[in-house]
Structure 1
Amino acid sequence: MNKYLIILSSLFFLACKTENKETQKIEMGKHETVFKHFEKDNDTLYVVNFWATWCAPCVEEMPHFTKANETFKDKKFKMILISLDRSKDFETKMKPFIKDNNIVADTYLLDDNTRMNTWIPLINKQWDGQIPVTAFYKNGKQIGFVPNTLNYETLEQIIKQNL
């Protein structure tokens, strides 16, 4: 009887684990790898926010992105946060910020900030490198670019228009 209870419990645990959606990613990588997460040719709307823990306007707008991520989680929608913090601050600043602010969106730290002049024009030729910046992608193409802070209402409106 004990053996059956253990087997049944194990099967239940595995079933619950496989039912869960994809787990949150918190990774560091080069732009060539990170950008592949949102340059996909599918009908999902990717909201890509470039930010940093040292950027006051970025930190101020983060609750709007967190709220939007929760609001649209059941739609064809994916929030991706790309930190421009220094790589040495990945464990000590960025990860604690994500945890302390209950951020569940996939978050990446770009490990090639010294090559910003290489990848910034790939996001938008008009981008001067200032953050926060938000880009919107769908079907493998950029469909929107906002080179300043966003409030929740504006972010929600852009998302609804493009879902």
Structure 2
Amino acid sequence: MKHVLITVCLLSIASFAFSQTIKKVKVTEVEEYIKNSDHPIVLNCWATWCAPCIEEIPYFMEAIKKYGEQKVELLLVSCDFASSYPNKIIDLIKKKHFEATFFWLNETNADYFCPKIDPKWDGTLPSTLYVDPKTGYRKFFGRPMTDRQIDLEVGRLVGLKK
């Protein structure tokens, strides 16, 4: 009985620790995170119910690894409904083995939060912002991207491709 209790406690702690990796944020916190970054960021807005989103995330992970020496960070910002936070999001992240910094955008007014990510964003998912606060580089895509497009844009972000 003692071993069962210890196992349950350890599993609970592990589950709790993992759920803490998806930070609940307001859009102003995302803005501050970018502003205070000392490295390039690929910010991808996605949702668990968005098939094109799920399809392109591995391409981002691959490009980030390719340009690892440039310290590029993949920031996946979930735009899922509140009912999906955190369990449904965690389940998908685990199932797909996604690796990134994870935020859940705790906002409901797209007219407010979309332009704060980028003035051209109309709320379409997936959408991606390539940004480097140190160099001033900033490029936004309000559509799904192919593996080649992602690789090219990450290369541009870090200044290795034109």
- Secondary structure of 1:38's counterpart equals helix
The 2-side partners of 1:121 and 1:146 are apart by 13
- Secondary structure of 2:68's counterpart equals coil
1:23-62 residue pairs with structure 2 within 5 A? 25-40=21-36, 42=38, 44-62=39-57
The 2-side partners of 1:144 and 1:158 are apart by 9
Decide whether aligned partners of structure 1 residues 34 and 25 sit closer, same or farther in structure 2, where only a CA change above 3 A counts: farther
Q: Is the 8 A contact 2:31 2:116 kept in 1?
A: no
Whether 1:146 aligns to 2:141 is yes
* Matched letter for residue 36 of structure 1: E
The 2-side partners of 1:162 and 1:92 are apart by 33
The 1-side partners of 2:60 and 2:111 are apart by 26
Decide whether aligned partners of structure 1 residues 89 and 142 sit closer, same or farther in structure 2, where only a CA change above 3 A counts: farther
Q: Identity percentage over the alignment?
A: 27
The 2-side partners of 1:82 and 1:110 are apart by 6
Q: Compute the displacement of 1:72 (Å).
A: 2.5
Q: Is the 8 A contact 2:67 2:155 kept in 1?
A: no
The 1-side partners of 2:133 and 2:30 are apart by 17
Whether 1:132 aligns to 2:140 is no
2:67 corresponds to which of 60, 64, 72: 72
1:89-104 residue pairs with structure 2 within 5 A? 89-104=84-99
Aligned residues: 138
Q: Compute the displacement of 1:41 (Å).
A: 5.6
Q: Is the 8 A contact 1:85 1:109 kept in 2?
A: yes
TM-score by length of 1: 0.76
* Matching residue of 2:14: none
- Secondary structure of 2:59's counterpart equals helix
Post-superposition CA distance 1:60-99 (Å, at most 9, x none): 1121112123222332311100000012211321011111
Q: Is the 8 A contact 1:39 1:137 kept in 2?
A: no
Structure showing greater Rg: 1
The 2-side partners of 1:74 and 1:90 are apart by 33
Q: Structure 2: any 5+ residue segments left out of the alignment?
A: 1-19
Q: Is the 8 A contact 1:135 1:142 kept in 2?
A: no
How well do the aligned residues superpose, as a CA RMSD in angstroms?
1.9
